[in-house]
């Protein structure tokens, strides 16, 4: 089966850099029309430039996923330009790691707001259009730490566990409208987010990975492509780990 998304409009939040950008480029290489979105204007301009140079069809819309008004504007712009939205990848995410005893309330709030409330706002806005179309694929990026926890990441793992519970509930709500909702739980992936980890922390992660390497952004992007494709039409409410076997 040829993997093409030539009739599909795909939105990826936080696609200015890292995993989100790789997902966006992977879809574009498979002929999708891509809605690039990020709250970081500089990153968004960079990825936009790369898309322009490659002649990929795209629309770039700045959007902070924690802001309901901006999310609503994102979908208005998308529908005004393309009249549909087929695939949404909720990728935008942040960390503010520290032990519970040192965690400030604003560190808790900002992580929950971005990683969990952001997924709620974008999914709610997308599902309105997808329900009318009677078609949609929603892919939410969680993390293996949302499954197994991680010391120093209670806010992040709570948000990522929340994404899993949210996605399973929405998968049940939207299934009758031919909308699938699945989760990707990456393990340790080399991006700017993990670049800041100490060598000791990186070694500790690597020691737990049976495939003995960190994941690459394209490993995650390929899973997103599969879940968005017709090959995954009968898969919904699932959590696919992309972690080299770290959690099994
Ligand atoms: P990056 O920090 O490299 O990229 C995330 C992008 O999202 C950045 O451009 C960031 O902007 C943007 N962003 C942050 N907050 C918002 C917001 N409120 N609205 C819109 N855009 C926002 O992260 P990764 O690529 O590493 O991670 C992508 C996703 O994968 C995240 O959900 C992360 O939790 C998840 N993940 C990553 C893993 C890894 O090992 N890297 C492992 C497991 C899960 P800015 O640059 O300004 O912050």
- Average pLDDT in the 102-129 region? 98
Choose among 15, 23, 89, 19: nearest CA to 46. 15
Q: pTM for this one?
A: 0.98
Measure 1 CA to ligand 1 centroid, in angstroms.
Answer: 32
CA distance 239 to 244: 15
Report the atom number in ligand 1 closest to the C-alpha of 141. Answer: 32
Q: What average pLDDT score do residues 147-169 get?
A: 98
Note the pLDDT of residue 196: 86
Confidence of residue 179 (pLDDT cuts 50, 70, 90): very high
Give me ligand 1 centre to Cα 110, in Å: 13
Q: According to the model, what pLDDT value does residue 148 have? A: 98
SS3 sequence of 141-175: ECCCHHHHCCCCCHHHHHHHHHHHHHHHHHHHHHH
Catalytic residue among 56, 58, 156, 188: 156
Distance CA 84, CA 137 (A): 12
pLDDT band at 225 (very low <50, low <70, confident <90, very high): very high
Q: Separation of 205 CA from ligand 1 center, angstroms?
A: 19
**Tokens of residue 117, six digits:** 């409330």
Using the predicted structure, report yes or no on whether residue 1 has a pLDDT greater than 80: no
- Between the alpha carbon of residue 12 and those of residues 35, 63, 104, 201, 211, the distances in Å are 6, 11, 30, 29, 28
Residue 114 has pLDDT above 90, yes or no: yes
Percent share of the chain, pLDDT over 70: 100
* Ligand 1 close to Cβ of residue 13 (< 6 A): yes
Tell me how far apart the alpha carbons of residues 139 and 229 are, in angstroms, rounded to a whole number. 11
Closest by alpha carbon to 20, among 244, 232, 218? 218
Tell me what pLDDT residue 195 has: 87
Angle between helices 105-112 and 154-174 (to 10 degrees): 30
Domain residue limits, the chain: 9-189+217-241
Question: Which atom of ligand 1 sits closest to the CA of residue 142?
Answer: 44
Arch. (CATH architecture) of 9-189+217-241: 3-Layer(aba) Sandwich (3.40)
In the predicted model, is pLDDT for residue 209 greater than 80?
yes
194 band by pLDDT with thresholds 50, 70 and 90: confident
Q: Which atom of ligand 1 is nearest to the CA of 215?
A: 40
* Per-residue pLDDT tens digits for 50-105: 999 999 999 999 999 999 999 999 999 999 999 999 999 999 999 999 999 999 99
CA 176 to ligand 1 center in whole angstroms? 31
Pocket of ligand 1, candidates 92, 150, 185, 215: which has the most ligand atoms within 8 Å of its Cβ, to mutate? 92
Give the per-residue pLDDT at 66.
Answer: 98
Ligand 1 contact via 65 beta carbon (within 6 Å): yes
The protein residue whose alpha carbon is closest to atom 3 in ligand 1 is 18
- pLDDT band at residue 153 using 50, 70 and 90 as cut-offs: very high
Predicted pLDDT at 197: 85
Question: What is the pLDDT averaged over residues 221-230?
Answer: 98
Q: How many Å apart are CA 243 and CA 169, to the nearest integer? A: 24
- The answer to whether the CB of 243 is under 6 A from ligand 1 is no
Complete DSSP assignment for 211-244 = T-S-B-HHHHHHHHHHHHSGGGTT--S-EEEEST
**Separation of 189 CA from ligand 1 center, angstroms?**
11
**% of the chain with per-residue pLDDT over 90:** 94
User: Catalytic: 156?
Assistant: yes
């Amino acid at each position: 089966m040829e993997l093409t998304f030539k009739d599909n409009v795909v939105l990826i939040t936080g696609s200015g850099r890292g995993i989100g950008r790789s997902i966006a480029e992977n879809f574009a290489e498979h002929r999708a029309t891509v809605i690039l979105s990020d709250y970081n204007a500089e990153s968004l301009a960079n990825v936009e430039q790369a898309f322009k140079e490659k002649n990929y069809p795209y629309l770039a819309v700045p959007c902070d996923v924690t802001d309901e008004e901006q999310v609503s504007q994102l979908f208005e712009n998308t529908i005004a330009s393309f009249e549909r939205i087929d695939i949404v990848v909720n990728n935008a995410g942040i960390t503010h790691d520290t032990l519970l005893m040192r965690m400030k309330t604003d560190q808790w709030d900002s992580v929950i707001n971005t990683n969990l409330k952001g997924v709620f706002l974008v999914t709610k806005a997308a599902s309105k259009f997808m329900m009318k179309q009677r078609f949609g694929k929603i892919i939410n990026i969680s993390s293996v730490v949302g499954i197994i926890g991680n010391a120093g990441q209670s806010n992040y793992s709570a948000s990522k566990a929340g994404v899993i519970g949210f996605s399973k509930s929405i998968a049940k709500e939207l299934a009758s409208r031919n909308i699938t909702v699945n989760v990707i739980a990456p393990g340790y992936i080399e991006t700017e987010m993990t670049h800041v980890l100490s060598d000791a922390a990186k070694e500790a992660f690597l020691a737990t990975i049976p495939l003995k390497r960190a994941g690459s952004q394209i490993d995650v992007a390929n899973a997103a492509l599969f879940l968005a494709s017709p090959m995954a039409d009968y898969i919904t409410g699932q959590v696919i780990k992309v972690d080299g076997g770290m959690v099994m």
